[in-house]
Amino acid sequence: MEIFDAGSTAENYRRFLQPVIFQPWSERLLSFVGLELGQKVLDVASGTGVVARAAASRVGPTGRVIASDISARMLHSVLVDADPSGASIEVLECSATDIPLDDGGMDVVLCQQGFPFIPDRAAAAQEMHRVLKPGGKVGVAVWAAGKQLEPFDAYAEAVRAEGIESAFGNIATNASVTMSEAEVEQALLSGGFTRVEVTTERLDIRFATIADEVRGIFGTPLGASVAAFEAERLDAFLKDLERRLAGPDGEPVPHSTFAVLGRGVA
């Protein structure tokens, strides 16, 4: 089973993490890439579709957007809250390394926080290149290596304190979900892209309530192990996580998040 396909991960991702973290970052990515009215856009590893929906609004009703992901559960809510005046959005369940689309049909391919989860990044980049028209654009975003990444670092530390072995990479550091500028550049070059440019941007985020921030762990691949705790252990775990995340007044604190944005031309 894919790591985002467990139980209610997708629903918790959509409720708690998407609006606070992934939605504002999707606007950054789209501004970095630059979309035009009427374009055909593919969102790879689209998850619950936050980038696809933002792209559909930007390319308008004459455009076309396809949201693709390996997890059927994540794709389930792609069309929820889609902009009725934007492009229609189609959903495609597939691996990033085997996309069932013709060569050269897309104007833009986007991928936000997908690369670290894809075992063969070069193959994924080559597939992104294949489906683009000559001159088409790719735009990717990945959490920046070497930076603190809250609330995800706190989630991982709380799980590690429980002595849990996670199937989700190295939870002692955030290395499994981050990449350096050089790694993002290399991934795009290995896909055959030219005029590759990378930059690191910062975005400050803050959850509305500490309860929402704590519940965000259930939208990550760490959530399934925690959800299996018996009631007393779960209660103690959530209190510990709240202590790790909250400020002195018990309220959520702002976090600076950093992502590497990369773009290139097919």
Ligand X SMILES: C[S@@+](CC[C@H](N)C(=O)[O-])C[C@H]1O[C@@H](n2cnc3c(N)ncnc32)[C@H](O)[C@@H]1O
Among 16, 40, 42, 46, binds ligand X (CB under 6 A): 46
Q: Closest-CB residue for ligand X?
A: 47
Cβ-based neighbours of 52, under 8 Å, separated by 6 or more = 41, 43, 46, 65, 66, 67, 78, 89
Question: Which residues share a beta bridge with 93?
Answer: 69
Cβ contact 45:114 at 8 Å: yes
Among 4, 16, 152, 168, binds ligand X (CB under 6 A): 4
74 forms part of the interface with ligand X (CB under 6 A): yes
Among 33, 63, 69, 257, binds ligand X (CB under 6 A): 69
Within positions 93 to 152, which residues make up the interface with ligand X, using CB under 6 A?
A: 95-96, 112-114, 117-118
Half-sphere exposure of 64 (CA within 13 A, CB side): 7
Q: Which stretch binds ligand X (CB under 6 A): 34-42, 45-53, 209-217, 241-249?
A: 45-53
- Residue 128 in tokens: 């992104």
Q: Cα separation of 203 and 201, whole Å?
A: 7
CA-angle at 9, arms to 8 and 10, nearest 5°: 95
**DSSP three-state, residue 91:** strand
For ligand X, the closer CB: 92 or 246:
92
For ligand X, the closer CB: 153 or 240:
153
Q: Cα separation of 117 and 216, whole Å?
A: 19
Residue 191 amino acid letter: G
193 forms part of the interface with ligand X (CB under 6 A): no
178 forms part of the interface with ligand X (CB under 6 A): no
Among 22, 155, 168, 218, binds ligand X (CB under 6 A): 22
Binding site for ligand X (CB under 6 A): 2, 4, 18, 22, 45-48, 50-51, 69-71, 74, 95-96, 112-114, 117-118
